Structure 1
Amino acid sequence: MRVFEPLLSRNALTVCLLTTAVFVTAGFAPFFTPLALAADDPDQSVVVVEEEVVEEEVVVDADAAPRPVAVFTFSGWQELIDDLNFVGDVSDSPGLGSSIEGLMALSTGGQGLVGLRRDQPWGVTVSIVNNEPDILAFVPLKDLDRFFKALAGMIGPVPQDENGVYELEVPGQVLFAKQEGEWAFLAARPESLENLPEDPALLVASLTKKYDVAFAVNMQSVPDEFRMVALTQIRLGLEQGMTREKGESDEAFQARVEAASKQVAEIEKALTQIDQLTVGWSINREDRKAYVDVMATAVAGTEMAGEFADIAEGTTSFAGFESPDATVSTVCTGPIAASDREQLPGMLSSSREQLDTMFQSSDAFSDPQVKELTRKFVDKLFAALEKMMDTDKFDGGMAVFGKGPFTIIAGGAVSDSAAFETLVEDTLKDVNEEYPNYEGYRRNVAEYKDLRFHTINVPALPDPEMLETAQEVFGEKIDITIAIGEKRVFFGVGPDAIDRIKHVVDLSAEAGEVAIPPLRMRAKMAPLMGVLGSLARRAGKQMEGEIGKLGGALPGGRGSADEDGAEEFADNDGDQLGGDGPRGLDLGPLGPMPLPSKLPDLSQLFVDMKPGKDNVELTLMPISNGVRYSIVADEELLKLISAAASLATQAAMNAGPGAGPFGPGGGGLPQ
């Protein structure tokens, strides 16, 4: 749930702030470590698109009360087939949708989906009746009887009672169906087929007119007791996880407990004050782009509605981050309410403790001096960030340049740049006290306009794997840059950070104040593919090792818990962890969850992409009583759909035969 806090809180702007804090600390922490190795070796040395504020809320079943708890729909069979054919064409798998049509024809003796109105939506609604879920599906079939007869070769005859209700036996349960006008309805209980809507397309009209596929949850239709049960389970889960970690200080543990309490409070507020959550996906075949919207609206007059209202379009002085040369760019701007500024010290304190704990517990930073330097730096960085946020507006951004190695820069407006000068001076003082022979820190290496540049060279990293990753991303020589001006600060890591900061400063000055959404992120995926693919391969190998260790640690497991656990675990001879049958974790009635002996090569997801058709953009925009995250992806990104499907198939094959709830030993779906 923590992931969605930016969506559910007016503190969305703090995402930019805390991301910058992690970025800066992650850059400095490796710098401290090599000092222990180098202490005695001083020689080791703008594109702007105006957005329209959408005031329309997606309303499901506006004419009926109460609204269903959830609705899933896609806009029609023909639209689905056309979209799949388009995805197949751009991913070198032509006829992807047509192949599904062929399978349907094969299953029905050449008749296909007889009586189907191909331009009408399909849907599923979930309501709560007598404290139990009531699920109703609808399909635009003109003649259900004819359709069942076409499927008789597969499912056999389907009996119909005197009320026109069909009884359809499927593995593990019985479903009920009924024809009503030109619509076929399907339910798990015959009672659900009473009082059917005359035109169920109206239930989903507000979704299907915008999206090819959509899902909406009406939170206020969920009974209070259901929400309280969910909240109780979440609270219990968090409380059970509140055990002190090894080496965790009293202050850090208390901060984590307080953060968990605040998290529960935020979840409770979301469960009680959110009106609707909506996810919609569509493909525009004419402009060859895919669109995804994630929206949240609040009940009018609630605290959350007021928080959403604070998220508004504004202007930025840092439009230069959206340089045409940037591989990735982010700009974030907006007002900071007085109440947020009051809460900021506590929020930053909690985040500081969590970040400090993360670095202090890392095996990569085992030197006590390094840990102490990192702790001091984190404390001073967050003190500077607190002063940075002592204003009525947040304005800043981040950008990635290059095709590998990359240069990453971040920066923004500050109310007190002196705090960052103090950060630099104190850090230098701390380093000199511990490592007096280190000469990799250089002050005032350059000046540009009001900016003064300081650099730090990271001479080495003690962890070979960390060093390899850092050099792959940032190059052989890893430099950190800090630029401090009168009312602005920039940080950079990479081979040409100084020049890139100057570039962003010039573009920003040329653009002036630019109207912009509260948050906008853009990325060109092609330049990232090589490095991401390499990192994905490395991550895949690490995950295989962890799976092997898991196999050896579980009761009855055959795997080895050593560093080469994946290889020891990869015999795939059908032995299940803890017993006979398919290898996997026993999930009771759901059967074994497969533990694959070898993960698919994740780098296959990062296929070759054509420059110029590889763009993706994420935007946060206000809507009536809520917010909307929108993602727009160029056609090259659609290749990932086919790649992901191939990986899923490969993973299933690697898991071995019979794995899953419907394999031998599996129990099917829960009754």
Structure 2
Amino acid sequence: MNNFIQSGRLAIAGLLLAAMPLVALHAQDAEFKPVAVVSVAPVKKILADVQYLADAAGQTDAGRMAALLSTPFTEGIDKTRPVGVVVMTNGQEFAPTAYLPVSDFDKLLTTATEQIGPPQDVGEGIKMFTPNQMPIFVKDAGNWAILAMDQEKLANPVGDPTVFLKDLPEQYDLALQFFPGNIPEIYRNVIVEQMKTGIDLSLEQEADETDEEFAVRKQQIADQVAEIERVFTELEDIIIGWNVDATKQGTYLDIAYTGAEGSEFAKMMALNSDLSTEFSGFTSSEAAINFQGTQKLSEADIARMDKQMNSVREQVIHQLETEGDLEGDELASAKKILDLAIDTLIETARTGSIDSGLMLDMTGGKGTFLAGAHVADGQRVEDGVKELLKLAAADGEVPPVKWDAETYQAIRLHVMQIPLDDAPPEAKDILGENPEVILGIGEKSVYLSGGNDAMARLKKAIDASIAGSDTKVGVVQMHVAILPILKGIQKNAPKPVPGVDAAIEALSGGADKFLVTVDMEQRYMRLRMMLEEGVIKAIGAGVAAQNAANAEADANFEDAPAF
């Protein structure tokens, strides 16, 4: 049966491919739409940003060298306007063209001739270069030079690419924008059918896998393919853009989506355009590690999560039963823990809201972990923790827990003392002489703290969360601050580490974070990953110092007397 299905899909894909030339005969006069746009910022901005990065990394001369080396390749190009590539389609064929901003077309031709050889004049203001026997056609269009691999594509090109580039050159040094809905349906069908066929051909039932489990795994993959298919119908565009921004003191990569009007993606984005958190006290811009995640879930999101979590449950149970590491009561306990955890996730999703915050604070070299999250049933979480401790106790000694040690703001606090009798002095310095791990259970919330002054810090975070319960947030706000982490390494290293010492010195000016944010508004969503300037400085200084130390060590080794 599987072979029959695979053969059928291959046949469908083949028929679709065979049909393309026939359908193309009817698409001669169809309207062209963009499928992809590539935007490159003006040369002037690119070189300025390269110099900024070089300066930040302590490699100023490298930035100057880049500017010098670029000169022969940019003669005749207007360095104040962007470069663009536009891929158009009329529903059947693709028409890619590139656009170079021109200040002097003849100089541009001379520059190209020096690099790839002289062109041939093919008429109508078009020149043909043939590097590596591959034709490239160039048309003089006033203040633009238009390039194509096919001369016919230059017959009616887009006159001004900025119509499609829009504000991409101002937002990013380099950007790629896709319009998945404009990919011709016949090509979409081929892509999907070939994907399904490839999966069917590679998917095999494992020796210890039952028919039911194999069916579940196949369904998971089918669901993933369905999610990919949604991209073609539910996303208006996808933008991947990289930029260097001296005013924001860093460099970042964006991945952004615009949902098609009325689509599930658009509804999800609109649903999350105005969010607030109940756990603002558990995040801090000064923390070494900080995470806040808040999201409202649609009915479709809840259904997908329900299905995914139950699938995970089945897979993990199968793994527990077949690996044989746990038996009898221990296996039953592990299954119970899994059920409690999965049920908590599913029931929390069914409330239509996910909300959490956590941080690792290392101020003054002292370490404290704090976390808080919304759950559907706090008691279920407590039951799961008790079962987990019971299972752990079967393998060794577990510190005792003082259940219901106290109640604060209607939250029951359970306390575990962490013995540090045999711990090194450095651990006591970071965590305190008598560190605690505290589990807080509310009716619809759960809390965790540990380390130095854990109880007082937890109560302070709870109070701050109550006071700031209407704090506006994005979907995700996360950062990792490099300086406090490096200081911790420096303090506890048995001997000086030159790279770490140099990186800490470079970070003295601040801006030491790696940040990840996810924001949504109406039909738009953006994921941003950013490196602040200080991190770039630290990387440059650290690598240079470590290389110098290694070179010195090698030299001393070579000069050492032989015995």
Task: State the TM-score bracket (shorter-chain normalisation).
Answer: 0.7 to 0.9
> How far off its partner does 1:119 sit?
0.6
CA distance 1:89–1:144, change in 2 (3 Å): same
Does the aligned pair in 1 maintain the 2:266–2:522 contact within 8 Å? no
Alpha-carbon deviations, 1:248-279, whole Å to 9, x = none? Answer: 56665444333222212211112222110012
Give the corresponding residue for 2:439. 482
Give the corresponding residue for 2:465. 508
Give the corresponding residue for 2:120. 159
User: Is 1:297 aligned with 2:194?
Assistant: no
Does the aligned pair in 2 maintain the 1:75–1:121 contact within 8 Å? yes
3-state SS of the aligned residue for 2:384? helix
Give the corresponding residue for 1:92. 58
Does the aligned pair in 2 maintain the 1:312–1:334 contact within 8 Å? no
Does the aligned pair in 2 maintain the 1:384–1:423 contact within 8 Å? no
Alpha-carbon deviations, 1:626-649, whole Å to 9, x = none? Answer: 322234432124459979x99xxx
Q: 1:521 aligns with which of 463, 471, 478?
A: 478
> How far off its partner does 1:350 sit?
1.9
Give the corresponding residue for 2:399. 440
* Greater mean alpha carbon deviation, residues 367-376 or residues 120-129: 367-376
1:544-563 pair list within 5 angstroms: none
CA distance 1:340–1:132, change in 2 (3 Å): closer
Give the corresponding residue for 2:23. none
Give the corresponding residue for 2:42. 76
Alpha-carbon deviations, 1:112-155, whole Å to 9, x = none? Answer: 63322111010111223684443211111233332232454443
Give the corresponding residue for 1:574. none
Give the corresponding residue for 2:18. none
Residue identity opposite 1:103 in structure 2: L
Does the aligned pair in 1 maintain the 2:378–2:442 contact within 8 Å? yes
CA distance 1:237–1:489, change in 2 (3 Å): farther
Q: 1:332 aligns with which of 281, 293, 306?
A: 293
3-state SS of the aligned residue for 1:209? helix
CA distance 1:349–1:130, change in 2 (3 Å): closer
Give the corresponding residue for 2:197. 236
3-state SS of the aligned residue for 2:403? strand
Distance 2:181 2:227 in 1: 17
Distance 2:522 2:92 in 1: 31
Does the aligned pair in 2 maintain the 1:323–1:504 contact within 8 Å? no
Does the aligned pair in 2 maintain the 1:83–1:97 contact within 8 Å? no
Unmatched tracts of structure 1, length 5 or more? 1-63, 460-472, 534-602, 647-671
Alpha-carbon deviations, 1:185-213, whole Å to 9, x = none? Answer: 11111112222333222321232233232
Distance 1:334 1:160 in 2: 59
Distance 1:641 1:193 in 2: 46
1:9-20 pair list within 5 angstroms: none
Give the corresponding residue for 2:161. 200
CA distance 1:174–1:523, change in 2 (3 Å): same
TM-score, length-scaled by structure 1 = 0.64
1:400-479 pair list within 5 angstroms: 400-402=360-362, 408-430=369-391, 434=394, 438-444=397-403, 446-447=405-406, 449=408, 450-455=411-416
> How far off its partner does 1:509 sit?
3.2
> How far off its partner does 1:519 sit?
2.3
> How far off its partner does 1:521 sit?
1.8
Does the aligned pair in 1 maintain the 2:392–2:398 contact within 8 Å? no
Alpha-carbon deviations, 1:302-331, whole Å to 9, x = none? Answer: 333223322222211100122244212222
Distance 2:478 2:31 in 1: 39
Q: Which of 1 and 2 has greater Rg?
A: 2
Does the aligned pair in 1 maintain the 2:512–2:532 contact within 8 Å? yes
Does the aligned pair in 2 maintain the 1:290–1:638 contact within 8 Å? no
3-state SS of the aligned residue for 1:270? helix
3-state SS of the aligned residue for 1:309? helix
Residue identity opposite 1:127 in structure 2: M
Give the corresponding residue for 1:626. 524
Q: 2:507 aligns with which of 610, 621, 629?
A: 610
Residue identity opposite 1:345 in structure 2: D
Does the aligned pair in 2 maintain the 1:445–1:453 contact within 8 Å? yes
Q: 1:393 aligns with which of 349, 353, 359?
A: 353
Distance 2:236 2:341 in 1: 38
> How far off its partner does 1:458 sit?
11
Distance 1:157 1:189 in 2: 18
Residue identity opposite 2:464 in structure 1: L
Distance 2:321 2:431 in 1: 24
* Greater mean alpha carbon deviation, residues 502-511 or residues 243-252: 243-252
1:202-221 pair list within 5 angstroms: 202-221=163-182
Distance 2:475 2:270 in 1: 12
Distance 1:526 1:249 in 2: 51
Alpha-carbon deviations, 1:39-89, whole Å to 9, x = none? Answer: xxxxxxxxxxxxxxxxxxxxxxxxx96431111112201000001000100
Does the aligned pair in 1 maintain the 2:40–2:173 contact within 8 Å? yes
Residue identity opposite 1:180 in structure 2: A
Q: Which has the higher helix share?
A: 2
Residue identity opposite 2:521 in structure 1: I
> How far off its partner does 1:497 sit?
5.5
Residue identity opposite 1:391 in structure 2: T
Unmatched tracts of structure 2, length 5 or more? 1-29, 421-429, 491-498, 545-563
Distance 2:169 2:489 in 1: 35
3-state SS of the aligned residue for 2:479? strand
3-state SS of the aligned residue for 1:610? helix
Does the aligned pair in 2 maintain the 1:394–1:413 contact within 8 Å? yes
Does the aligned pair in 2 maintain the 1:451–1:486 contact within 8 Å? no
Does the aligned pair in 2 maintain the 1:177–1:187 contact within 8 Å? yes
Alpha-carbon deviations, 1:145-202, whole Å to 9, x = none? Answer: 3223245444332222222221212235221112110111111111122223332223
> How far off its partner does 1:492 sit?
5.2
1:11-410 pair list within 5 angstroms: 66-105=32-71, 108=72, 113-128=74-89, 131-171=92-132, 173-245=134-206, 253-354=214-315, 366=325, 373-402=333-362, 408-410=369-371
Distance 2:317 2:289 in 1: 27
3-state SS of the aligned residue for 1:326? coil
